[in-house]
Structure 1
Amino acid sequence: MRKTAILIIFVFLVCVLAAGTARVMAQERITPLEAKDYVGKKVTVCGVVASAKFAAMSKGRPTFLNLDRPYPNQIFTVVIWGKDRDKFGTPPEQTYRGKKICVTGTVSIFRNTPQIVVSDPSQISIKD
């Protein structure tokens, strides 16, 4: 009976530690320049929004937030599709322009530039 209880506690602790480790790994903070090395991985990218544009006439009506370097020399882009803009309240290109932000999501590549597609405001936080 005592051995069973110890085994159950041990298994529980291993599961808790494994879940915590996975969450920490998912929240790894990187710079926009490092993002190209994390394609397919969930990370948090932090940088200054150097340029921001709502492409209202483009397919999907995307908003682009370019971190650390402005378009067309951007090194990392946050993409918010038009269908998700209303979730942000104020226009994202106004809210985040010039601010230091951190964005969490899975890194992908579009036209040789790493990006994270954001569908919810909780994925972006403004830093001081």
Structure 2
Amino acid sequence: MRRSAVGLCVILALGAIILSILQSAPPVIEAERAKDYIGQKATVCGKVVSARYAAASRGSPTFLNLDRPYPNHVFTVVIWGSDRAKFGEPEVDYKGERICVTGEIESYRGVPQIVLKKPEQMRVEKQ
């Protein structure tokens, strides 16, 4: 009887841990919906339709615009020059790809964006 009670407690504890992990996973949304999640952590998915490496600009950012090209973009992925080497040539490598990025959604001039610092924040989806 005691063994089965201990086993039941272990199973319940594992279930609680798994439930807690699942509940803390960020929501997965399409780029068009990102504006509704400003200030929140989320995974945003969309197709990279325009991209630019602004090497001469302050911070040398790379911009990946999802679903609509700049200046009508609905979501931007930003990779600062200090982190760029971790991503290869993102403006070339990911153009035309459907990607998902995870991080805190910020707003810059009314357009939602996520700043990537490490490759683990991005994945390419099979099309």
Cα deviation for residue 126 of structure 1 reads 1.4
Question: Residue 42 of structure 2 corresponds to which residue in structure 1?
Answer: 43
Distance 2:118 2:73 in 1: 22
Q: SS at the partner of 1:109?
A: strand
Unaligned runs of 5+ in 2: none
Cα deviation for residue 11 of structure 1 reads 4.4
Counterpart of 2:115 (choices 114, 117, 120) is 117
Unaligned runs of 5+ in 1: none
Residue correspondences, number? 124
Q: SS at the partner of 2:72?
A: coil
Q: SS at the partner of 2:58?
A: coil
- State the 4+ residue runs in structure 1 displaced beyond 2 angstroms: 4-16
Q: Within 5 Å, which residues of 2 pair with 1:33-112?
A: 33-88=32-87, 90-112=88-110
Q: SS at the partner of 2:60?
A: coil
TM-score, with length taken from structure 2? 0.86
Tell me the amino acid that sits aligned with residue 120 of structure 1.
Answer: K
TM-score, with length taken from structure 1? 0.86
Tell me the amino acid that sits aligned with residue 69 of structure 1.
Answer: R
Calculate the aligned-residue CA RMSD, in Å. Answer: 1.9
Tell me the amino acid that sits aligned with residue 13 of structure 1.
Answer: G
